[in-house]
Structure 1
Amino acid sequence: MRLRLFFALALCVLLLPSCAPKIKIFAAPTTEPLKEFVVEGTGEGKLALIHLQGMLVSQPKEGLLRPTPSQVQELVSALRLAEEDEAVKGVVLAVDSPGGTVTASDILYHEITAFKQRTGKKVVVVMFDVAASGGYYASLPADWIVAHPTTITGSVGVIFMRPKLSGLMGKIGVDVEVSKSGRDKDMGSPFRPTTPEETALFQDIIDDYATRFVNLVQQHRKLSSANLELVGTARVFTANQALKVGLIDQIGYIQDGFAKARQLAGLPKDSQVVAYRRDTYPDDNPYNPMTSADPEKMNLLGVDADMLLPPKAGFYYIWQGAAR
């Protein structure tokens, strides 16, 4: 009996993080504001360099001692500084993300679009290793998209992920009893198989989100019918392939992104590139994606913990092949 209970609890901890008890050690919150640091250039006028990386979520991430800001919070804070500074004429958004939740991706898209509408400032996206699914979704408002020669992008689609425990629970003799108010109240439950009717309902939701994604791609990229159909398969593309189908505008490096942003914004070639950080970094440069050196923000084993743990049940604009 004890062995069965142990396995049941272990399953809950590993597959259902929301079920696991959370132990927190409270510490004073980080209150250092974002400050401007020049990472390139000495001339007049500015470009703001903002990094968007990792799995995109709207909720703060749990740290060992305190939560850390989500990508949505950090991007909105940086855009606000870029908006308030009249010397900033454009933004270079460095994207390295396989995507994330549907809602976080859509909020990022909305905030970048609203920033452009309010300010008239140009936005250039530079893609690094991966800018797929939600990472590409958030890039759509850009006036110009540059991908590194080795970038993987695309994955224009939706996936619904949820853990399933019913088979293993049956083997160890654990069950969950549910009382509900309506037939579909527990649809998607991890404790029982999904019915054919529920599968159809989930597919309708997936199709709805996918249609929104594909329509936004067409709105911003104006693809041919054949290329739009190919993109709609949700496959990923190399930079060369993405250029051919029209998902990006240029293959190059971050310096090419700076050059294009300066051109679009009417800035001189030696205008400054600034980043917003909470800490000073010696020998800072445009490839530094961090806003803070706080060890609290360092990830276990040097990888994104969100990509290691089983995902929370939900709908995602994400390419699972980029999990690392």
Structure 2
Amino acid sequence: MNIRPFLILSLVLLVLPGCAPKIKMFGSTTTDPLKEYVVEGEGEGKIALIQLRGFLASQPKQGMFRSTASQVQEVVSTLKLAEEDDAVKGVVIAIDSPGGTTTASDILYHEILDFKERTDKPVVVAMFDVAASGGYYAALPADWILAHPTTITGSVGVIFMRPKVHALLDKVGVGVEVSKSGEDKDMGSPFKPATPEEAALFQAIIDDMANRFYTLVQKHRVLADDQMAVVKTARVFTASQAKEIGLIDQIGYVQDAFAKARSLSGLPADSKVIVYRRDRYPNDNPYNTMDMANPPSPSLLGVDAGFIMPPKAGFYYAWPQGLTQ
């Protein structure tokens, strides 16, 4: 088999993006402006539909040939457009996320809350497959939270994930020598097991971050003590369980979220639902995502293999089981 054509093609693909940045071989980029598209309705006034999907992070997502904006970047950009357009009277945020980093989740919460306070435009959340942990955290400022009948939500809490390789190094006879300025400078190192003292220090950090989450849940949802005790177990809930315990307001579909946003905004039933994207979809509808060409995940024989990668060390408002979806 002659592999020369494949080598030439690979070289062209590697060189061409740097030589001709204006040629869009792999879809839109973060430098392309967001544009408005109507996905539903023909009447007066607008409801802006904003997508919040995937693992929540503040860093851009890096693909093989290009990067795309992070969820924080995109949500802040779309909220700004919705704020500047006087015809936009309300916002629906579609959430399908297992959560993410504590900071990204908190930034999204802050930006959505600040948008509401600046504009007095109502915000409705529509949950899809998963809106857990940081995904639920970001939903808290909404005036109304709706979940799909099959949504999984909850997981209110914090998890600290860090890879450990010290056992493997011991097996192959490799060590890491560390010089440090303070006793706890290398706490959490993947090259050694945690001491009881280090475990206690980490637990104190986790408890502090979890208490912030609990405080915000209580502020926005006003749960009874017995309800809050169940929520603090960090378990996940079905939509019906979440409604019963008070984490959400309604079970329904995205069209019900549009109807609620129109009602809260004083708009007619046929008012427009618009989205902000860099790409145009043929036969557009509310279920399309914000960007047609997201960077690919690592794959094995065409199957997403991102779940085999070790987690980046850090504190997360995340449901770990949802990260493999």
| Same topology, TM > 0.5 | yes
Partner of 1:286: 286
Partner of 1:162: 162
Whether the 8 Å CA contact 2:298–2:306 is kept in 1: the answer is no
Whole-Å separation in 1 of the counterparts to 2:76 and 2:295: 19
Ranges in structure 2 where 5+ consecutive residues have no aligned partner = 1-13, 23-28
1:279 Cα deviation from its structure 2 partner: 1.0
Whole-Å separation in 2 of the counterparts to 1:60 and 1:306: 16
Partner of 1:116: 116
Helix, strand or coil at the partner of 2:164: coil
Whole-Å separation in 2 of the counterparts to 1:101 and 1:198: 21
Partner of 2:263: 263
**Sequence identity, in percent?**
69
Partner of 1:13: none
Whether the 8 Å CA contact 1:51–1:93 is kept in 2: the answer is yes
Q: 1:319 to 1:267 in 2, by over 3 A?
A: same
Q: 1:298 to 1:40 in 2, by over 3 A?
A: farther
Whole-Å separation in 2 of the counterparts to 1:171 and 1:306: 26
Ranges in structure 1 where 5+ consecutive residues have no aligned partner = 1-23
1:67 Cα deviation from its structure 2 partner: 2.0
Q: 1:317 to 1:77 in 2, by over 3 A?
A: same
1:303 Cα deviation from its structure 2 partner: 7.5
1:289 Cα deviation from its structure 2 partner: 1.3
1:65 Cα deviation from its structure 2 partner: 1.5
Whether the 8 Å CA contact 1:101–1:314 is kept in 2: the answer is yes
1:304 Cα deviation from its structure 2 partner: 7.1
Whole-Å separation in 1 of the counterparts to 2:281 and 2:188: 46
Q: 1:122 to 1:145 in 2, by over 3 A?
A: same
Whole-Å separation in 2 of the counterparts to 1:99 and 1:193: 27
* 1:125 partnered with 2:121: no
Q: Considering only aligned residues, what root-mean-square deviation do their CA atoms show, in Å?
A: 1.6
Whole-Å separation in 2 of the counterparts to 1:100 and 1:308: 17
Helix, strand or coil at the partner of 2:139: coil
The superposition leaves residues 299-323 of structure 1 with CA deviations (integer Å, 9 ceiling, x where unpaired) of 4458877655221000000001212
Q: 1:303 to 1:208 in 2, by over 3 A?
A: farther
Whole-Å separation in 2 of the counterparts to 1:310 and 1:231: 28
Whole-Å separation in 2 of the counterparts to 1:215 and 1:305: 36
Q: 1:165 to 1:298 in 2, by over 3 A?
A: closer
Partner of 1:177: 177
Aligned pairs for 1:130-149 (under 5 A) are 130-149=130-149
Query: What is the TM-score with the length of structure 1 in the denominator?
Result: 0.89
Partner of 1:93: 93
Whether the 8 Å CA contact 1:55–1:306 is kept in 2: the answer is no
Helix, strand or coil at the partner of 2:44: strand
Whole-Å separation in 2 of the counterparts to 1:258 and 1:82: 15
1:277 Cα deviation from its structure 2 partner: 0.6
